[in-house]
Amino acid sequence: MKTGTTNIHQNGKAAHNHTGTIQPSLVNIFALLNEQRVRYALLRGFDELSENPPIKEIDLLVHPLDLPAFEKIVRTSAFVKLPRLGYAPHHFYVNFDRASGIWLKLDVVTDLFFGKPVRHLRWPVGGDFLFRREQRKTLFTLSPADELVSLFLHNLLDKQSFRAERLTRIQSLITEIETQPDMQHQVVQLLQSALGDALDWEQLRLFIGEIAEKNIRSEAKRIGAALNRHKPLGNFFRKITTPLLKKLRSLAFATRHRGIWVALLAPDGGGKSTLSKSLLKQPFLRSKIVYMGINVDASTVGLPTTKLLKNIIKNMTSAKRPKLLILPLKALASVNKLLEHWLRVGAGFAYSLNGRTVIFDRFIYDSYLAGAPKRLKSKLRRLLFWGTCPHADLTIFLDAPGELLFRRKGEHSPEALERQRQKYLGIANQIPNFHAVDATQSPEDVQLAVLELIWQTYQKQRNG
C-alpha cells in the first residue's frame, strides 16, 4: 500500500434506497459478460434490479467452465470474493457502491441445489437452463418455463414460504405459460424428469391458486423426497458435511481473508464513537471496535484491574495519603496500562485473523502529537508501546474546525481543539495510508465516505 495523504470532502446528501436505476457497475459487468460470451443467467428478480435496498443481492447461474472468466470480470469491477467454505456450489462477490450507498452482492451458483437448512438436493437437469436462456435488455435471464420451476422450488424448498413479490411473479409466469403450449410442454418435461409423479403442471397451478390453504412444510417434505431420489447418497453426504464445513470458515478467513485494521483519529467532538457504532451495523465488514483511549467506561477490550487501580489511587490521593504509598501504585498502574495496550493489540490481531474489520477508536498515532520524546524513560515507554503495534492498514482523520468540535461537545475550547486539529494534519505525512474525511458533513455522508475508503483498502488487499 502507498504511503500518503488523501483529503476527501464530499458535498450533498447521502443516497439511500432510491429506485429507478441499476448501478453502473452492474450494467458494466453484464456488458462484459455478454462481450466475452460468458454463459450465465439471472435466476430471479429481474424486476427488482432497479430497486436499491441496503443489500442488493443478485442471484446468477454461471456455467462451471466459464466461472474463471466470470471471476476475472467481477474482480476488475471492484467486487471482492468472500469465503465459500460450507456454501458450495455458491460463490459470493461483494462490492460497496458509493453512488447509491448500498452493498451489492452477487450470489453465483454453477449448479442448482435446494433444501432447508442445507441446500443439499441437486437439481438433475440444470445444464439445460443456460441453453434455453433468453436475453432481456442488457442481460440474460432464464426462460419463462425454467424460471417458473426454479422459482417455485426455491420458495417451496429453500424458503418454505412465498413472499408477496415472488408469489406475484410465479402467478404471472403461470398466466403467460398457459397461453403458450410449447412453454407448457417444457414445464411438464422439467417436472417429470426431476420429480416424476410428485408434481405435474395441473398440480402446480392448483397449488399456487390455493396456496393460502396449503401446508407448505408438508408439501416441501413431499417434493424434497421426490427430488432426493436422484443420487441420494450424494445428497446425504452434502447434508452431513456442509454444517461441519461452515464451522471451519474461521480457518478460511485466517488463511486467505485476513481482516484489516482501521484507525480513527479526531479531537473530541470529531464523531469517532458515532462512526464506529455505525460501522458495526455494516454486514460485510464484520466489524469489531477496539477502544485505545484512557476512558475506562468507553473501553471495549481491557483489564479489570485498570478501573480498580484508578479508583484506589484517586481515593488515596483525595485522602492525602503519603506519596510513598501512592508511587508504587502509580508504577503498577503504568505496567497495567502497558499490559492493557498489548491486550488490545492482541485482540486486534485475533479479530483480523477471523476476517473482521478492526475499528480502532484512537490509536498509537495519537502519541505523535506530543512530539519526539527527550528523556530516556519516555523513549523506552514509547518503544514498548510502538514496538508491539504495527501500522493500521487505513487511518482516517475526521476533519472539522475547532469551533464546530466545541459546539458539538462543549469540551476544552475552540482554540485548543483547533490546535489539536492542526497537529493531526501536521503528522499526516508520518502515517501510512492517512486519509482526511470532511467531518462537517452529516453522519450519513461521513459514513459513506469512510465505507468507500475501507472497501477500497479491502479490494487492494484481496484482489491486488
Residues 336 and 239 in one domain: no
Residues 223 and 328 in one domain: no
Q: pLDDT class for 13, splitting at 50, 70, 90?
A: very low
Residue 5 domain flag: no
Residues 360 and 235 in one domain: no
Residues 441 and 383 in one domain: yes
Residue written as grid cell 429481474: 46
The C-alpha atoms of residue 158 and residue 120 are separated, in whole angstroms, by 10
Residue 49 domain flag: yes
Residue 454 CA to chain centroid, in angstroms?
11
Residues 170 and 40 in one domain: yes
Residue 129 domain flag: yes
- What pLDDT digit, counting tens, does each position of 38-71 carry? 999 999 999 899 888 999 999 999 999 999 999 9
Residues 305 and 235 in one domain: no
Residues 147 and 164 in one domain: yes
Q: What letter would DSSP give residue 214?
A: S
Last residue of a domain, one of 209, 230, 250: 250
Residue 324 has a pLDDT of 85
Domain that holds residue 19: 15-250
Residues 183 and 205 in one domain: yes
Last residue of a domain, one of 250, 278, 307: 250
Residue 144 domain flag: yes
- What pLDDT digit, counting tens, does each position of 370-421 carry? 666 667 776 777 777 777 788 999 999 999 999 998 988 878 889 999 999 9
Residue 2 domain flag: no
* Overall domain count for the chain: 2
CB-neighbour burial class of residue 414 (10 A; exposed 0-12, middle 13-18, buried 19+): middle
Residue 371 has a pLDDT of 66
Higher-confidence position of 280 and 250 = 280
User: Would the pLDDT of 231 be above 70?
Assistant: yes
The C-alpha atoms of residue 190 and residue 463 are separated, in whole angstroms, by 40
The C-alpha atoms of residue 464 and residue 22 are separated, in whole angstroms, by 27
Residues 451 and 335 in one domain: yes
The C-alpha atoms of residue 322 and residue 237 are separated, in whole angstroms, by 72
Q: pLDDT class for 105, splitting at 50, 70, 90?
A: very high
Last residue of a domain, one of 186, 216, 250: 250
Residues 279 and 242 in one domain: no
Q: Provide the percentage of residues in the chain whose pLDDT is more than 70.
A: 92
- What pLDDT digit, counting tens, does each position of 299-351 carry? 899 899 988 988 888 888 888 888 888 888 888 988 998 899 999 999 999 99
pTM to 2 decimals? 0.84
Residues 270 and 121 in one domain: no
Q: Residue 372: what are its φ and ψ, rounded to 5°? A: -70, 135
Residue 32: give its domain's CATH number: 3.30.460.40
Contact predicate 137/63, CB 8 Å: no
- What pLDDT digit, counting tens, does each position of 112-167 carry? 999 998 888 998 875 689 999 999 988 999 999 999 999 999 999 999 999 999 99
Residue 327: give its domain's CATH number: 3.40.50.300
Residue written as grid cell 435471464: 141
Residue 365 domain flag: yes
Contact predicate 436/401, CB 8 Å: no
Q: For residue 89, is the peptide bond before it cis, meaning its omega torsion is within 30 degrees of 0?
A: yes
The C-alpha atoms of residue 81 and residue 306 are separated, in whole angstroms, by 41
Residues 244 and 269 in one domain: no
User: Would the pLDDT of 14 be above 50?
Assistant: no
Residue 3 domain flag: no
Residue 212 has a pLDDT of 79
